[in-house]
Amino acid sequence: MKPILFLSLISASAFAAERPNIIFIFSDDHAEQAISAYGSKVNKTPHIDRLATGGARFTNSFVTNSICTPSRATLLTGQYSHLNGVPVFNRFDGSRDNVAKHLRAGGYHTGMIGKWHLGSDPTGFDRWIVLPGQGKYWNPDFLVPGKKLKIKGHCTDITGDLGVEWLETRPADKPFFLMLHQKAPHRKWQPDERNMALFKDKTFPEPETLFDDYSTRPAALPENKQTIARDLDKWDLKETPPEGLEGRELIKWKYQRYMQDYLACVQGVDDNVGKVLDYLEKSGLAENTIVIYSADNGWYLGEFGLYDKRFMYEPGLRVPLLAKGPGIKAGITPAEFVANIDLAPTFLDLAGLPVPESMQGRSLAPLLHGESPDDWRKTVYYRYYHTPGHHNTAAHYGVRTQTHKLIYYWDKDAYEMFDLTKDPMEQHNMLVSEEEAKSPEVAKLFTELKAEIVRLQKEFKDDGQYADPSTWPKGSADGPFGDKEPSGEMTVSEAIAESEDPGDGA
Ligand SMILES: [Ca+2]
């Protein structure tokens, strides 16, 4: 008897019991440094910390292109931007293969809720309800197949509520896969009222590099437009600075205003992680449900004098990654280099499904089980394209090893190299002084890191396409959604009832 026939004889519910449910909670721009399990000095995240205590907290988790839309395309495809066709804020082609299609075909009930920002309708999901483009914090519209719905309230709480409602109304005879994607804490930070009240008068310690003068990194940092000093606008700050403040005092004031709103938005995300975890425990689903938390890109909390993401320095490159559930060892902190290309293969592997050749990442399941494979990657390759973009951030690629980092700004033909063991804040570019660059030790390291980039570009099939902005695919990640009139105001339950995909089962 062939295995496929054998499977068809097992009742669906018996099969469901064998395979774990998976909930992937994603947030937008949530810095690892703003999670207490990661040692935050500025806030506490008790609910995200529950995942660390009861499961795995990855200590070297990176993104391959630190920006929203490309990261989401990588999440779905397990591929770098140059292969999945989304190097910048362009539209994802929904006819491409994605992880949800595999899970759905493999017997999972699949759902996508919240921020999508890929410009095309979601495919591969039994039910989806997503924000148009960036979405709004207050009284947001949501898209379901063919319609736009308006829901009253704060987006973070609504997204959490939609998640619980989706779980309540799912078919009980199938394992499920739910992507629950928060808009928060994306700029221009508008917290819910309860957390705004909690954070409005707080003050936070400043990072060591808030007043970075960029003197050893002249290639791209001085011209960037994501600085706290110059680039936060009146919509970010929402208040006029006190009269007479200037220079460093004004930067300090802006930093505090920024952090108050940003961290209040993070707290809303944490509250809603708690809402989902509590529901899973109360309903008994926790026993067979894996919950994974991550963010779409790194983020600067004043380090290098910056907010935003993009640059390959540590705060931009690192993302939180935590997971708890059946089969995952409690309290482990895997230190292997993992990246967002690994998420799609991980979902499939956890579901007992094969990982297609097209995916470039590797399943994290062995690491979640407490194993440490000898042949795990020791370096990570990064490539950012969006130049000048919204923040005049020069395009670059690079490699991070366990001890060093090499960054290359190709339009400027400029390299930066850092020793992360001696200089974790990346303040000293070892190539800026000719004398140091020519020293045998530094020159040898530079040669080795350049060779490693070449090796990684070959391994990941990056031949430099999209390096020239004229080759970027057309179509915006923000549309086309404006042509649908929103419904009258809906409740979360009414909205979920509209979310079923009548599509082709793709
Ligand atoms: Ca983002």
Q: What percent of the chain lies above the pLDDT cut of 90?
A: 92
Residue 330 has pLDDT above 70, yes or no: yes
**Chain centroid to CA 363:** 17
Separation of alpha carbons 298 and 318, rounded Å: 5
Separation of alpha carbons 475 and 91, rounded Å: 5
- Give bridge partners of residue 399 from the DSSP assignment: 381, 406
pLDDT average, residue stretch 125-147: 95
H-helix or E-strand spanning residue 415: strand 414-419
**Chain centroid to CA 490:** 29
Residue 166 has pLDDT above 70, yes or no: yes
Tell me what pLDDT residue 3 has.
43
Peptide bond into 3 cis (omega under 30): no
pLDDT average, residue stretch 64-85: 98
Both ends of the chain: CA-CA distance in Å?
29
Tell me what pLDDT residue 252 has.
98
Tell me what pLDDT residue 501 has.
80
Tell me what pLDDT residue 417 has.
98
Residue 277 has pLDDT above 90, yes or no: yes
Residue 15 has pLDDT above 70, yes or no: no
Pairing assessment for the beta strands 109-115 and 56-57 based on DSSP bridges? unpaired
Q: How confident is the model at residue 483 (pLDDT cuts 50, 70, 90)?
A: low
User: How buried is residue 17: exposed, middle or buried, by Cβ count under 10 Å (0-12/13-18/19+)?
Assistant: exposed
Sign of the four-CA dihedral 372, 376, 378, 380 = negative
Q: How far, in Å, from the CA of 117 to the mean position of ligand 1?
A: 10
Q: How far, in Å, from the CA of 399 to the mean position of ligand 1?
A: 21
Task: Give per-residue pLDDT as tens, 351-406.
Answer: 999 999 999 999 999 999 999 999 999 999 999 999 998 899 999 999 999 999 99
Separation of alpha carbons 308 and 500, rounded Å: 35
More confident: 487 or 452: 452
Q: Which residues lie below 8 Å from residue 202, measured CB to CB, with a gap of 6+?
A: 259, 260, 263
Q: How far, in Å, from the CA of 63 to the mean position of ligand 1?
A: 11
Amino acid at 171: P
Tell me what pLDDT residue 505 has.
47
Name the token pair of 376.
């795990």
More confident: 487 or 328: 328
C-beta separation of 338 from 60 below 8 A: yes
Q: How confident is the model at residue 190 (pLDDT cuts 50, 70, 90)?
A: very high
Tell me what pLDDT residue 485 has.
81
Task: Give per-residue pLDDT as tens, 30-58.
Answer: 999 999 999 999 999 999 999 999 999 99
- Nearest-CA neighbor of 338 among 353, 355, 317? 317
Q: How confident is the model at residue 487 (pLDDT cuts 50, 70, 90)?
A: confident
Instruction: Supply the pTM of this predicted model.
Output: 0.95
pLDDT average, residue stretch 456-483: 91
Q: Which residues lie below 8 Å from residue 444, measured CB to CB, with a gap of 6+?
A: none
Q: How far, in Å, from the CA of 134 to the mean position of ligand 1?
A: 10
Tell me what pLDDT residue 488 has.
85
What are residue 414's phi and psi, to 5 degrees? -130, 135
Q: How far, in Å, from the CA of 25 to the mean position of ligand 1?
A: 14
Q: How far, in Å, from the CA of 308 to the mean position of ligand 1?
A: 9
User: How does the average pLDDT of the chain come out, rounded?
Assistant: 95
* CA dihedral of residues 100, 381, 92, 161 (deg, nearest 10): 50
Q: How far, in Å, from the CA of 349 to the mean position of ligand 1?
A: 26
Tell me what pLDDT residue 10 has.
45
Q: How far, in Å, from the CA of 28 to the mean position of ligand 1?
A: 4
Q: How confident is the model at residue 503 (pLDDT cuts 50, 70, 90)?
A: low
